[in-house]
């Protein structure tokens, strides 16, 4: 190769490098932006799921606690309108959090939440019947309290699944 050919090849490579540098830079920048957007979306979805878990855990435990309180107060004959209103508010909040979670949580967590819901909804209906004096055969505050204990391991199982889904391990 002669010096002229070498100089020509060097010039062509230099020109091509100059022409393609902005294109390569733009592609790298676009790839970085796409990766950053993907990370931000994963983080947003994680935060949404965590918020749903937190709200559902809080609401289900509050509903459970108020059901237990209602049964004790019905048993003792001191259940008031204010307590009925509190229980109804907790039930509505629980229902809303449960509905929100159905849209963002994995099926295994929904299965656990359904197991909790079966117990809480059943006891809520029983509390209402007991409060109205329309108890079915075998229904009593004492029996309902015993049945409500079934929710406790289900609440714990649901919480463990939620924590596991969020990457929290003990």
- Per-residue pLDDT tens over the stretch 125-135: 999 999 999 99
Q: What is the mean pLDDT of residues 55-60?
A: 96
Find, among 152, 124, 143, the residue nearest to 75 by Cα.
143
Q: What is the mean pLDDT of residues 37-55?
A: 91
Q: Compute the mean pLDDT over every residue in the chain, rounded to the nearest whole number.
A: 90
- Whether the per-residue pLDDT at 22 is higher than 90: the answer is no
Angle subtended at Cα 51 by Cα 50 and Cα 56, rounded to the nearest 5 degrees: 100
The interaxial angle of helices 3-76 and 107-132, nearest 10 deg, is: 20
pLDDT at 1: 62
- Per-residue pLDDT tens over the stretch 128-169: 999 999 999 999 999 999 999 999 999 999 999 999 999 988
Cα separation, 107 vs 117, whole angstroms: 15
pLDDT at 30: 79
Q: What percent of the chain has pLDDT over 70?
A: 95
Q: What percent of the chain has pLDDT over 90?
A: 70
pTM recorded for the entire structure: 0.80
- Per-residue pLDDT tens over the stretch 100-114: 998 888 999 999 999
- Whether the per-residue pLDDT at 11 is higher than 80: the answer is no
Gap between the terminal Cα atoms of the chain: 70
């Amino acid at each position: 190769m002669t010096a002229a050919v070498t100089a020509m090849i060097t010039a062509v490579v230099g020109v091509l490098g100059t022409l393609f540098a902005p294109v390569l830079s733009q592609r790298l920048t676009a790839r970085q932006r796409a990766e950053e957007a993907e990370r931000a979306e994963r983080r947003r979805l994680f935060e949404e799921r965590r918020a749903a878990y937190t709200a559902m855990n809080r609401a289900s435990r509050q509903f459970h606690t108020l059901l237990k309180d209602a049964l004790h107060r019905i048993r003792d004959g001191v259940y008031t309108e204010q307590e009925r209103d509190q229980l109804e508010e907790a039930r509505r909040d629980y229902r809303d959090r449960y509905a929100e979670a159905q849209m963002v949580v994995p099926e295994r967590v929904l299965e656990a939440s359904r197991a909790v819901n079966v117990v809480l909804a059943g006891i809520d209906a029983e509390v209402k019947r007991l409060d109205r004096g329309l108890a079915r055969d075998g229904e009593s505050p004492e029996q309902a309290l015993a049945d409500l204990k079934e929710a406790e391991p289900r609440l714990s199982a649901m919480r463990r699944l939620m924590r596991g889904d969020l990457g929290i391990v003990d």
